[in-house]
């Protein structure tokens, strides 16, 4: 039988694969340090769990409206107004099974076959596959380290064709932790408006910012860019709720409507109890976010300082999210136990096999000269893992 060539072209998520391998090694009794985590290590705060328990006990266990319950949509609208200075009505909000689902819905809603989506690299690996799922063509634009891994308008212009339909912006970024300044975003907004493009703004890490930088929503600048922007956000990263699967999109009403239509047939509503939990997260006290942020920040500072002192590798200090994007260009060509390190994949494999440290090689993020470390793991593991990486590097020839 011939299977779908489109589906066969979709790559599995390598971050999930590495995390799974590290977990398996751990289960086998090996003392692994896993830096692969793409999720907070904290437990979901109690008041959020209690909202779900209450909903369950009250029998809130049936289908809800396919695009989400009204109180949650209203809370999201209020949040967008208060935090991001953008006005939305509930009919512009679609609540889905995680921001991943919101992104896939978005591409399904805006793309026709062979439409191109500009994805600045380094990029979160799922974007490329999601665009393909929606019959679009991902066009990767690699940003340079010199510009803090952020794309410039000149680089975007070079990627522009008459097929370009949208540009994706992820700030703070996974994997770099970089944040686009307001000025940079305004230039991207002008570029999108003057070339008639949509902007898909993945703002999932907006609350995890550690320095003085401020998150700005690109949709907030003016009516023109507002009409072209689809904001993607969710509760996974901010509230340590990755398993609950609640994300959302905020979009012009026409787009939200067709996203809701697609979702109503593909999956119907996201889990009813998780919607109540997300409502508690978004509308409740935000103190829990500060507690987690303070801890992330300590780890970020420690990790950055340690990596900066190591031979052959370097990183730019991340401003947000919970990752360090590490440049290993100077490691390439060196050998470990007579094996040549050709790229980040070989590096990651040797590190896992010899030092039981799992890192994410960024080949699938568009950079085979870099790897990603997550600091969403306990400090003692960070210390242990960095000791091992240091030892590994000292053994290079
Ligand atoms: C984790 C992540 C998401 C999606 O998270 P969900 O759990 O699906 O809500 C989206 N974008 C980026 C950049 C992420 O790192």
DSSP states of 224-256 as a string? Answer: HHHTTEEEEEESTTTTT-TTT--EEEE--HHHH
Same domain? 71 vs 189 = yes
| Ligand 1 atom having least distance to the Cα of 100 | 8
Identify the residues whose C-beta falls under 6 Å from ligand 1. Answer: 38, 98-100, 124, 170, 174, 202, 204, 234, 236-237, 242, 247
Res 22: pLDDT: 82
Res 12: pLDDT: 79
List of residues 6+ apart from 141 with CB closer than 8 A: 118, 119, 120, 121, 151, 155, 156, 158, 159
Domain-terminating residue out of 263, 283, 303: 283
Ligand 1 centroid, distance to 110 Cα (angstroms)? 20
- From 101, 105, 204, the mutation candidate for ligand 1 (largest count of ligand atoms within 8 A of CB) is 204
Domain-terminating residue out of 255, 283, 311: 283
Ligand 1 centroid, distance to 161 Cα (angstroms)? 28
Same domain? 122 vs 209 = yes
CATH number at residue 196: 3.40.640.10
Same domain? 68 vs 196 = yes
Res 367: pLDDT: 92
> Per the structure block, which two tokens stand in for 55?
């909903």
- From 76, 95, 100, 200, the mutation candidate for ligand 1 (largest count of ligand atoms within 8 A of CB) is 100
| Ligand 1 atom having least distance to the Cα of 242 | 7
Same domain? 185 vs 215 = yes
Low-confidence ranges of the chain (pLDDT < 50): none
- From 120, 170, 205, 237, the mutation candidate for ligand 1 (largest count of ligand atoms within 8 A of CB) is 237
Res 102: pLDDT: 98
Same domain? 68 vs 149 = yes
Q: Which of 12, 43, 18, 42 is nearest to 32 (CA)?
A: 18
Same domain? 252 vs 297 = no
Ligand 1 centroid, distance to 124 Cα (angstroms)? 9
End-to-end CA distance of the chain: 50
CATH number at residue 386: 3.90.1150.10
Same domain? 95 vs 13 = no
Phi, psi values for residue 17, rounded to 5°: -65, -45
CB atoms within 10 A of CB 228: 22
Same domain? 21 vs 76 = no
| Ligand 1 atom having least distance to the Cα of 97 | 8
Ligand 1 centroid, distance to 311 Cα (angstroms)? 32
CB atoms within 10 A of CB 114: 10
Whether 106 and 258 have beta carbons less than 8 Å apart is answered as no
Res 20: pLDDT: 79
Domain range enclosing 326: 5-43+288-394
Cβ-based burial of 142 (10 A; exposed 0-12, middle 13-18, buried ≥19): middle
Same domain? 89 vs 24 = no
List of residues 6+ apart from 72 with CB closer than 8 A: 95, 275, 276, 278, 279, 282
Domain-terminating residue out of 230, 263, 283: 283
Res 392: pLDDT: 98
Within 13 Å, how many C-alpha atoms sit on residue 354's CB side? 17
Same domain? 324 vs 251 = no
- From 120, 175, 234, 320, the mutation candidate for ligand 1 (largest count of ligand atoms within 8 A of CB) is 234
The pTM score is 0.96
Q: How many domains does the chain have?
A: 2
Q: What is the SS3 assignment for 290-317? A: HHHHHHHHHHHHHHHHHHHHCCCCEECC
Res 37: pLDDT: 81
Q: Whose CA is nearest to atom 13 of ligand 1?
A: 174
Same domain? 85 vs 177 = yes
Same domain? 62 vs 164 = yes
What is the rounded average pLDDT for all residues in the chain?
96
- CA 139 to centroid of chain Cα atoms: 18
Ligand 1 centroid, distance to 63 Cα (angstroms)? 25
């Amino acid at each position: 039988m011939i299977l779908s060539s489109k589906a066969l072209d979709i790559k599995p998520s390598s971050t999930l694969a590495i995390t799974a391998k590290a977990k398996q090694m751990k289960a086998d009794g090996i003392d692994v340090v896993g830096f692969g985590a793409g999720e907070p290590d904290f437990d979901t705060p109690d008041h959020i769990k209690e909202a779900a328990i209450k909903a369950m006990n009250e029998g809130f266990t049936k289908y809800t409206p396919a695009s989400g319950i009204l109180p949650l949509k209203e809370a999201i609208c209020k949040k967008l107004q208060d935090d991001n200075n953008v006005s939305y009505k509930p009919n512009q909000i679609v609540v889905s099974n995680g921001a991943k689902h919101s992104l896939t819905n978005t591409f399904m809603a805006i793309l026709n076959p062979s439409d191109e989506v500009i994805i600045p690299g380094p990029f979160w690996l799922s974007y490329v596959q999601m665009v393909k799922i929606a019959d679009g063509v991902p066009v990767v634009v690699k940003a340079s380290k010199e510009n803090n891994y952020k794309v410039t308008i000149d680089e975007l212009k070079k990627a522009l064709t008459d097929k370009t339909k949208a540009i994706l912006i992820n700030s703070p970024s996974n994997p770099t932790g970089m944040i686009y300044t307001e000025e940079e975003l305004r230039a991207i907004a002008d570029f999108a408006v003057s070339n008639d493009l949509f902007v898909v703004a993945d703002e999932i890490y907006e609350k995890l910012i550690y320095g003085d930088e401020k998150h700005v929503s690109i949709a907030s600048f003016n009516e023109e860019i507002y009409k072209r922007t689809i904001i993607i956000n969710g509760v996974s990263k901010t509230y340590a709720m990755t398993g609950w699967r609640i994300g959302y999109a905020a979009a012009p009403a026409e787009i939200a409507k067709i996203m809701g239509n697609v979702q109503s047939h593909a999956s119907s509503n996201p889990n009813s109890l998780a919607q109540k939990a997300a409502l508690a997260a978004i509308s409740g006290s935000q103190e829990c976010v500060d507690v987690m942020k303070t801890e992330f920040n300590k780890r970020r500072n420690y990790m950055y300082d340690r990596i900066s002192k190591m031979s052959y590798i370097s990183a730019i200090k991340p401003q947000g999210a919970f990752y360090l994007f590490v440049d290993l260009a100077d490691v390439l060509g060196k050998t470990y136990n007579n094996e040549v390190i050709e790229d980040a994949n070989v590096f990651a494999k040797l590190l896992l096999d010899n030092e039981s440290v799992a890192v994410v090689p960024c080949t699938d993020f568009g950079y085979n000269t870099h790897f990603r470390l997550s600091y969403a793991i306990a400090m003692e593991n960070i210390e242990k893992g960095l000791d091992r990486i240091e030892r590994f590097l000292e053994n290079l020839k």
